[in-house]
Amino acid sequence: MARKAATPVQIWRTCAGLGMLAFEAQAVVGMRLLGMSGAWPVGRGENRKMLSEKPPAFAKAATAAATKAAFGGRPDQVLTASVKPLAKIARANRKRLSGKAAVRRKKT
C-alpha cells in the first residue's frame, strides 16, 4: 500500500518548525555568549548545562525519527518527529535565559 504524499500545508508546517528551531537555538546561543562575556545574566552552571544537554537531546531526536521512519512515516513526518524534542529543549532554554534578564531588569 502506497502512502499518501505530503500536502503543501504539511510541508509548510515542517519548514516552519525548522525555522522556529533555528530561531530559538540562535537566540539561546546569543544569550549564552553574552552570558559568558558578563553582559547577560546566566546561572552558574550554564556552561556545564550547555554541554551536558546535547547528547540526550540528539538521542531523543534520533530515536523519534527512527521510530517514525520504521513505522512508515513520510519524510516530512520523520523530520518533524526529530525536530520536536530539539525544539522543546531550545524553547525551554530561551524562556529560562530570557526570564533571568527580565528579573534582573525589574531589580534595577
Within 8 A by CB and 6+ apart from 51, the residues are none
Residues 39-96 have pLDDT tens digits of 999 888 999 999 999 999 999 999 999 999 999 999 999 999 999 999 999 999 999 9
Q: Is residue 23 part of a domain?
A: yes
> Domain limits at 80?
12-37+45-107
Q: Is residue 68 part of a domain?
A: yes
Q: Is residue 22 part of a domain?
A: yes
Q: Is residue 2 part of a domain?
A: no
Q: Is residue 55 part of a domain?
A: yes
pTM score above 0.75: yes
Domain count, the chain: 1
Q: Is residue 32 part of a domain?
A: yes
Q: Is residue 3 part of a domain?
A: no
Residues 7-27 have pLDDT tens digits of 999 999 999 999 999 999 999
Q: Is residue 75 part of a domain?
A: yes
At residue 38, the 3 state secondary structure works out as: coil
